[in-house]
Each structure stands twice: as C-alpha cells, then as structure tokens.
Amino acid sequence: MRPSFPRALSLSTLLVAALLSACSKPQPVEEPVRAVRTLTVAAASVAPQAEFAAEVRARTESRLGFRVGGKLVERPAGLGDTVKAGQVLARLDPQDLRLGQEAARAALSAAQANLAVVQAEFARYGELRRQGFISSAELERREAALKSAQAQHDQARAQAGVQGNQAAYAALVADAAGVVTAVEAEPGMVVAAGTPVLRLAHHGPRDAVFAVPEDRVALVRRLLAEGTPVQVRLGNAPDAPAVQARIREVGAAADPVTRTFVAKADLGRAEAQLGQTASVGVPLPAVSGVLRLPLSALREMQGRTVVWVVEPASMTVRAQEIRVAGVEGNEALVAGGLQPGQAVVTAGVHVLNPGQKVKFYRETTAAAATASN
C-alpha cells in the first residue's frame, strides 16, 4: 500500500528543514566574564639587588697527603666523617720505612762505637805528646781523626732522626678538627709523596662562595674595598634565615671555562652547614620611578613581556608590553610600560584573551561567611 500524497509531502518538508538546520552556522558562544585578581600599581624608589647562587664552604680546606710514598693499606676516615686534631686518617705500609729506620739506628751505633775508640786513642796520644814520645804533627793527625769521627756520629744521629720521622709519616693524621669533604685515594693504591688522599674542611669560620659574571665584578670589588655588607640567605626556602656578611675575597682572573670570577663572603661563625646552598644579595644603585609587580602577573607573548591591564570603563583587558628592570625575590621591577594607578591582573593571566570581559574578584573570608549566616 502506497503512502498518501500529503503524508509524503510532510516527510519531505521535515527532511529539508533538518538539512537546512544542519547547514546553518552555530551561534557563537559568548565568553564568560572571568573574575580576576588585580593590583593597582604605584611608583616607588627601590634599591634593587642582584642575587647570586652560593655554596657554604669552610674558610680553611686542606688537601691532605702523605709526606712519603708507599702503598695505602688503611683509610679509617670516610667521606663526611667528623675528625679531631691528631686522629689517624689513613696509613701506609710501614715495612720499608721501618727497615730504613733500623738501618739508620745501626749506622748510629757504629758511629758511636767508632767515636769512642777515636776519643780513647786521642787521649792516649795526648799523654804521649806531653811525655815527648810523639811529635805535635802526630797529635794533630789524631785530633783530625777525632773531629771526623765526631762529624760522622752527628751525621748518623741526624739520619736516624730523619728515618724515625719517615716511619712516623706512614700514618696520616689530621692537623686540625674538621669534616672530611672528599676522598681521593682508596686502600691498595700506591701513592707518591704529596699526593692528595683526603680533603679536610676545618672547623671555624665559614664562607659563602659564589661566581660573579664579568659585568658585575667591578661592583663586587667596590663592595670589597668599601666594606659594604651583603645579605646572605641560607637555604632555598623563602623564609630561610638571612645573615649579614662582607665580601672577603674576589678572584683576580676569570675561570677559563665559565668566564666568571670567584668571590667569597665572610659568614663568620654563623650557623651554616658545609655544602649548604645559599644566595648572596648584592645591593645595586637605587632606581626611582620603578613599579613592583608579582611575577605571576607577567606573561610572554610573541617574544614580549606583557601584562593584562583592566580598562575600568568597559571592564575588559588588554595586553600591555612592559620593560623589566630586574627581579627582587618574587617581584618584578618594571621600569617602563605602565602608569601609576593602572589595574593589572596578577593571577590567571594564561586564560585571558584581548578584549575579554572581566570582573574584580571579591574574596569571601570565613568570618564574613559566618556573619552572613
């Protein structure tokens, strides 16, 4: 049975209407009005500072080695150990040194015996000369033999002392209390005299050691000459303690690899651990007319540093390019591009678009919520 003509026409009409509705453009979705946090900028005169990453080190750090060569057989001290003055840090095989000491002692005994014989002979020949049995020349020869024997004895005694010291040098002892910061030789190695075995950081004053680029080294040297203090923050936390220090030393030549100059700030006896990270704040000349903005307000757009400025008349945002003079903590120092009194968005800058409608964010505190209830 065929459908009636009016029903077929109705179906065709519905199909055409569905096709037309599918081809029509969708209505644009209106962007939501976003609530933004803002900050009204104000000009100020600031004294910025340059910050350098630093490391806490001991004022005196010695690379200890044996004064004689030999085979390393023992190393009681390890990396990070705290040692006392006179404590044994490592030992060499003492066998050869002891044999040399015994040989020197035997030579000293022989020299003593020879000296005793020559002294007795000189005494007898002296008596014979007084009795006129020998000539003066013969007595002088005996006197020369006595002086030679005395010199040989002194030489043997000095050599025995040297060999005794050499045997004692088989033990490497700490010349001061401190902490072992590096180990450069292991048992079984044959080391030459003077080869570093351990590195010892002495207890006492501490330095904050940092690298200064070439364009800042003149400033740091001026602080050294004037004795101007710098701020050293111990640790990476924002609330890390800060201490005042003075520049104690600036390298005369740049590092051949990094092309930076090593500088040291005297921490004195501040509570700083060896190897602890720190940051050194070097004061820069004061700059007037600088605006402060939190770093969260800045955004990179097509290679430019911009911020979102709120237009109060239309309550829309626009991108404004700025010139950053430096960074101090979590704030950027803006030297150009903004005027005092402008409202700058400080949070959520990555979700905004030019011309977007915004409203000021009103934070509801717990106390206000309680009061409203």
Please check whether residues 86 and 176 belong to one and the same domain. Answer: yes
Please check whether residues 99 and 209 belong to one and the same domain. Answer: no
Please check whether residues 194 and 179 belong to one and the same domain. Answer: yes
> How far is Cα 224 from Cα 324, in angstroms, rounded to an integer?
28
CATH classification of the domain holding 128: 1.10.287.470
Please check whether residues 153 and 182 belong to one and the same domain. Answer: no
Q: Are 247 and 265 in contact (CB under 8 A)?
A: yes
Whole-number pLDDT of residue 370: 42
User: Does 4 fall in a domain?
Assistant: no
Phi, psi of 6 (to 5 degrees): -60, -40
Phi, psi of 338 (to 5 degrees): -125, 160
CATH classification of the domain holding 87: 2.40.50.100
CATH classification of the domain holding 252: 2.40.30.170
Please check whether residues 128 and 233 belong to one and the same domain. Answer: no
Q: Are 35 and 364 in contact (CB under 8 A)?
A: no
Please check whether residues 67 and 197 belong to one and the same domain. Answer: yes
Q: pLDDT, tens digit, for every residue of 75-119?
A: 999 998 999 999 999 999 988 888 888 898 999 999 999 999 999
Q: Are 317 and 70 in contact (CB under 8 A)?
A: no
Whole-number pLDDT of residue 360: 84
pLDDT at 372 over 90: no
How many Cβ atoms are within 10 Å of 35's Cβ, its own excluded?
Answer: 13
Please check whether residues 107 and 155 belong to one and the same domain. Answer: yes
Whole-number pLDDT of residue 172: 93
Give 100's DSSP letter.
H
Q: pLDDT, tens digit, for every residue of 320-369?
A: 898 887 777 688 888 888 888 888 998 878 888 888 888 888 765 444 44
Please check whether residues 76 and 193 belong to one and the same domain. Answer: yes
Single out the residue in 283, 315, 341 at which a domain terminates: 283
User: Does 44 fall in a domain?
Assistant: yes
Please check whether residues 191 and 220 belong to one and the same domain. Answer: no
Chain-centre distance for alpha carbon 160 = 47
User: Does 371 fall in a domain?
Assistant: no
User: Does 373 fall in a domain?
Assistant: no
pLDDT at 27 over 70: no
pTM (predicted TM-score): 0.58
Please check whether residues 178 and 300 belong to one and the same domain. Answer: no
pLDDT at 183 over 80: yes
3-state secondary structure of 284: coil
Whole-number pLDDT of residue 16: 54
Please check whether residues 212 and 182 belong to one and the same domain. Answer: no
**What is the domain extent for residue 73?**
63-92+170-201
User: Does 100 fall in a domain?
Assistant: yes
Task: Please give the share of the chain, as a percent, with pLDDT higher than 90.
Answer: 32
- Nearest one of 261, 266, 264 to 216, comparing CA atoms: 261
User: Does 27 fall in a domain?
Assistant: no
Whole-number pLDDT of residue 265: 93
pLDDT at 43 over 80: no
Count of the separate structural domains present in the chain: 4
Whole-number pLDDT of residue 5: 47
pLDDT band per the 50, 70, 90 thresholds, residue 210: very high
Single out the residue in 201, 223, 252 at which a domain terminates: 201
Listed range (5-9, 19-23, 148-152, 360-364) with the worst mean pLDDT: 5-9
Burial (0-12, 13-18, 19+ Cβ within 10 Å), 361: middle
User: Does 144 fall in a domain?
Assistant: yes
User: Does 352 fall in a domain?
Assistant: yes
pLDDT at 222 over 70: yes
Whole-number pLDDT of residue 24: 52
CATH classification of the domain holding 43: 2.40.420.20
Please check whether residues 148 and 158 belong to one and the same domain. Answer: yes
Q: Are 42 and 364 in contact (CB under 8 A)?
A: no
Q: Stretch 46-52: mean pLDDT, rounded?
A: 75
Listed range (1-10, 96-105, 260-269, 325-334) with the worst mean pLDDT: 1-10
Determine how β-strand 358-360 pairs with β-strand 34-36: parallel
List the structure tokens of 123: 């005494």
Q: Stretch 266-278: mean pLDDT, rounded?
A: 85
Single out the residue in 167, 192, 217 at which a domain terminates: 167
The mean pLDDT value of the chain amounts to 83
